[in-house]
Structure 1
Amino acid sequence: MTKPTFDLQSHSLHSDGVLPAADVVARAAEAGVELLALSDHDTIDGVDEAIAAGVRHGVAVVPSTEISSVDGRYEDLHVLGYGIDHHDPVLAERLLSARADRELRAERMAAKLNELGFEVDDAPLAKRRAAGKPLGRPHLAEAVLIHPANAERLAEEGHDDISSFIPAYLIPGTPGYLARTHPTVFEAIGWIHDAGGLAIWAHPYWDLDSDEEVLGALDRFKAAGLDGVEAFYPTHSAEQTRLVVDKARELGLLTTGSSDYHGPEHRLFRTFLAHELHGAEPDLTPLHEAAARAAAAATAGS
């Protein structure tokens, strides 16, 4: 069975990963990744470092970001931007506004968690704020988990990592959750296009449950200018993958994929090339071209 040599979503300490961007690239190279995207949430701060590391390690790195977006009742859909101009000041300003919205939301959720009886360690949150790093639910959950005053309650409830705490307290319908309002999926697509990139809807079946919802969203997002969809993903079944690939072919969309690498100790996303192709062969020519341009520019400027 053909295995992928591309991994088009990964995260560093600039968002919710744990490794520096260069280390993410080095580990990708060790795993046999040939085409990589460092797609930190709502930031492009690690892209230059990743591209430079890619040149050293022989990995083609696509300039990328992952924009956390809303779409009606769907309150946390992700739109990947590939081949963006990561030095575009307009994009940087827009991503800053998105991070500010997330930060305000995180502060309000921290207050709700306090009301629910949890102590929230502000030190790591303040450190990220001071560094201009995105602040999201994983960081808020970690701030609860590391506070010693919460240890007994967390043990009683069976929460020993963020992967169990977030579904219990920080998703829609749970007591600590608050919705975001900005940007919408349509706005995120526009931001990516304005920066010269391709807009790809990430892991559709991670966020939506039914085939009908996924196919309907693809129709709507395509009408708004979507360029592709992440069909190949560790949690997508063979049937879901084939359904998305067939729909993408019908709509003229690119199909991409990733293992969504977050770090070597992550409960779900710790292994590069963990996504399956299930017999499909994506055409990633535009992304290879974008990576080649980025590497040439980095080499010329060094």
Structure 2
Amino acid sequence: MPDHETAPTFDLQSHSTYSDGALPPAEVVDAARDAGVRVLALTDHDTVDGVEEALSAAADVRVIPAVELSSVHGEHEDLHILGYGLDHTDATLLATLADFRQDRIRRIHAMAEKLRALGFTIDPKRLEHDSPGRPHLAKALLEDNDLNLTKDEVFAQYLVPGTPTYVGRSRPTVEQAIEVIHAAGGLAVWAHPYWDVEHAEATLRAFAAAGMDGVEAFYATHTEEQTRRLHVLARELGLITTGSADFHGPAHEHFNRFRAFSLHGLEPDLGRLGLD
């Protein structure tokens, strides 16, 4: 883990109670400020509803209006595309995100029904959320049933592709996500490539050809080798290189601290997202 004094002062992925984070947007900003973050992005899943609150709380933190779109691409059913610096008040964007959330709601309730068919109890009220995700379903499964499992084990057994109770997204495709972000004046960046794709380099080339603007080369779970591979390829392809600790809240199993990622001595290229 990087030393706090030398860790990056930007952190361009975080989540609030508007998606799968534990804190309201203003408290996310406060936590980022306390951790020494100077440039922050609130990237809730398929919604920008928390952005205005984050901007209002910004003070001495620069908050970039942003969103994280869960997207499909071939056999990959949940790749995440970050949209940075977009117009979060754009009417077309808001309508499109509302449609994407309907697909998110459909798949979560479909998975819940499959789990109930196996005999599990899941209170529907636990899934009453504007942007429900698999973490909400995993939490409901653990709290409503006597399971001797961790949250990670629940995901592995029930909520990932290949398990009998998994249901995939139907939209948007990665190309559609890029188009939506660009139409709202934003930059499209592929989040945590190695979290979802074992061999990310060829996929990044395809996304760059489709208009992707950047890649999250610096990430909490990326190894130094993975980071260096992405950094070299991004420079070749003319992509910006962002980074994050993917903050979800102080009690999250994995993503509970800001600035908890390393640059490994490399120079990020944040483009117009960087400090003035």
Count of residues paired in the alignment: 272
What does 1:125-140 align with in structure 2 at a 5 Å threshold? 125-126=127-128, 128=129, 133-140=130-137
Tell me, yes or no, if structure 1 residue 233 matches structure 2 residue 219.
yes
Residue aligned with 2:252, SS: coil
1:74 matched residue in structure 2 = 76
Tell me, yes or no, if structure 1 residue 191 matches structure 2 residue 215.
no
2:112 matched residue in structure 1 = 110
Contact 2:240 2:271 in 1 (8 A): no
What does 1:24-63 align with in structure 2 at a 5 Å threshold? 24-55=28-59, 58-63=60-65
Contact 1:82 1:199 in 2 (8 A): yes
Q: Which digits, 9 at most, give the CA deviation of each residue in 1:65-100, with x for residues without a partner?
A: 000000000110000000000000101111111110
Higher helix share: 1
1:92 matched residue in structure 2 = 94
Tell me, yes or no, if structure 1 residue 222 matches structure 2 residue 211.
no
Contact 1:84 1:196 in 2 (8 A): yes
Q: Identity over aligned residues, as a percent?
A: 55
- Give the Å deviation of 1:181: 1.5
**Structure 2: which 5+ residue stretches go unaligned?**
none
- Give the Å deviation of 1:209: 1.3
Whole-Å separation in 2 of the counterparts to 1:114 and 1:261: 31
- Give the Å deviation of 1:164: 2.5
Q: Which digits, 9 at most, give the CA deviation of each residue in 1:138-165, with x for residues without a partner?
A: 1111111111xx21xx12xxx14x3321
Match of 1:207 among 196, 214, 219: 196
Tell me, yes or no, if structure 1 residue 272 matches structure 2 residue 258.
yes
Q: Which digits, 9 at most, give the CA deviation of each residue in 1:53-76, with x for residues without a partner?
A: 112xx1000000000000000110
Match of 2:237 among 247, 251, 260: 251
Q: Tell me which amino acid in the other structure corresponds to 1:201.
A: W
1:300 matched residue in structure 2 = none
2:138 matched residue in structure 1 = 141
Whole-Å separation in 1 of the counterparts to 2:156 and 2:63: 32
**Structure 1: which 5+ residue stretches go unaligned?**
293-302
Q: Tell me which amino acid in the other structure corresponds to 1:166.
A: F
Q: Tell me which amino acid in the other structure corresponds to 1:190.
A: E
Tell me, yes or no, if structure 1 residue 83 matches structure 2 residue 72.
no
Whole-Å separation in 2 of the counterparts to 1:59 and 1:288: 12
Residue aligned with 1:182, SS: coil
- Give the Å deviation of 1:52: 1.1
Contact 1:33 1:272 in 2 (8 A): yes
Residue aligned with 1:94, SS: helix
Match of 2:273 among 287, 290, 294: 287
What's the TM-score, normalizing by structure 2?
0.96
Whole-Å separation in 2 of the counterparts to 1:165 and 1:78: 21
Match of 2:156 among 167, 186, 208: 167
Q: Tell me which amino acid in the other structure corresponds to 1:122.
A: P
Contact 1:13 1:19 in 2 (8 A): yes
Contact 2:7 2:260 in 1 (8 A): no
Contact 1:121 1:146 in 2 (8 A): no
Whole-Å separation in 2 of the counterparts to 1:28 and 1:164: 29
Contact 1:98 1:182 in 2 (8 A): yes
